[in-house]
Amino acid sequence: MKKFDIAIIGGGPGGYSLAVILANNGKNVALFESNALGGTCVNRGCIPTKTILKSAKIRQLMSNSDKYGFESSHTFNLEKVFENARNNSKKLQQAIKGALEGAGVSVFNQEAKLLSKNIIKTENNEIYADKIVLATGSRPRKIQIEGIEKANVYTSDDLILDYHDFDELTIIGGGVIALEFASFYANFDKKITIIESNNQLFGNFDESIRDAVNSIIQRDKINIITNAKVLKYETDGLLIQQGETISKHKTQNILLAVGRIVNNDSFSELNLEKYDNGVLKVNEFFQTSEENIYAIGDLNAIMMLSTSAYKQGDVVAKHILHQKSDEKFVKSNIPFAIYTNPDISFVGKSEKELESAKIEFESAQVFAKNLPRAHANLDFEIGFVKINYEKNTYKILSATIFLEDSATLINQIALAISKDMTIFDLQNSAFTHPTLAESVYYISRNIAFSKKS
């Protein structure tokens, strides 16, 4: 029986990056991945979706090319757009493979199952490991709808892995995946409808995020049906109930975007402690109820983001390597973005969380129309930056940025929050001009010089 210091099940962002860190620090590491290296992020999520969304941004730019001084017609090849996405995934798979090989990680392209807290079984091997890290990720949730087999039904995986051509698409579910795909297809002249069971999209998010989402929906002419319960599919459409009213929404193409479920088959033999929803319980070091077994990334459902998986992997690496560190995973320090055009990005505690914690805060905002660079870009109709800060200390608590490339801009606020910085710390910093990033400076300067001494 082969023996390893650490075995990692799952080759997504959390798994493969942790494997490289540990191997480069002298550990004998095994990594198990039954599918393509890179996990959902590289193959069916972050990377390929951002590739197609880049094409959507260019398509939108070309549709408005006359305002930039260009006079020409343009066509697009949607099949090529998806081909680019798949090619990018293949390139990154090879890059990850090279990094693992370079670090000396033993990679097993096989399905792995835990027989005990130290023994892993594959198709033709049993392997012992002192410590085991579960990084098995998640998959799209599927729901049962009577008659839906008569329609063309997709998950986000299906739309990325193969090219599908249609003129209209109905999306059941109103979260991030739904909005990104809706905006993408709308920019390529597809008729898009989102069906949401709640009374509004992103109802659990701050109003500033909902405002940004609504701007995207209105601009891209996405049809929204809220307070809706899908009853069944009939011949050419979905029967939908809204209150006492039942109506038919005609569609032949349906994307199920109703959340994700964790992949927990690999450790079903073990009696690891779980919450009522089946998600593993972990401590601050991401140890499960068996202290030599860790669980990171989507699997623990703390925050289903690759960013989260990477940072949780860092905490685990330091714990395994016995490095002295005060690093802790703080959910509110992790930025996230919705990759529409422009991006919608957020970091910090939501206003609802701040109110529940009885933290007194104030807000400041600047709009794209007030930013010189937005005017230089001829792109100032929508967009804003909003920062929430503590009333007495002026400590930065959270921010929403709805601007071009805000997924990059939000990181400076994430750093500020993690370091307990104040509005005055931001105002003391210089920002290049003209840039969208200096929106943060404008806000902090306005507050700093309006403060009553």
Give binding residues for FAD as ranges. 50, 136-138, 298
User: What distance in Å separates the CA atoms of residue 297 and residue 10, rounded to the nearest whole number?
Assistant: 10
User: What distance in Å separates the CA atoms of residue 64 and residue 377, rounded to the nearest whole number?
Assistant: 12
User: What distance in Å separates the CA atoms of residue 178 and residue 185, rounded to the nearest whole number?
Assistant: 11
User: Per the annotation, where are the binding residues for NAD(+)?
Assistant: 173-180, 196, 259
Element (H, E) at 131: strand 126-134
Residue 158, beta-bridge partner list:
none
CB-CB contact of 280 with 273 (8 Å) = yes
User: Per the annotation, where are the binding residues?
Assistant: 50, 136-138, 173-180, 196, 259, 298
User: What distance in Å separates the CA atoms of residue 286 and residue 351, rounded to the nearest whole number?
Assistant: 27
**Kind of pairing between the strands at 293-295 and 126-134:** parallel
User: What distance in Å separates the CA atoms of residue 295 and residue 313, rounded to the nearest whole number?
Assistant: 9
3-class state of residue 284 by DSSP: coil
User: What distance in Å separates the CA atoms of residue 404 and residue 374, rounded to the nearest whole number?
Assistant: 9
**Kind of pairing between the strands at 119-121 and 113-114:** antiparallel
Residue 6, beta-bridge partner list:
29, 131
User: What distance in Å separates the CA atoms of residue 244 and residue 436, rounded to the nearest whole number?
Assistant: 47
Query: Which amino acid appears at position 401 of this protein?
Result: I
Terminal C-alpha separation, the chain: 71
Known catalytic residues are 433
Query: Which amino acid appears at position 52 of this protein?
Result: I
For helices 13-24 and 78-103, the axis angle rounded to 10 degrees is: 30
- Nearest-10 Cα torsion for 105, 108, 112, 118: -40
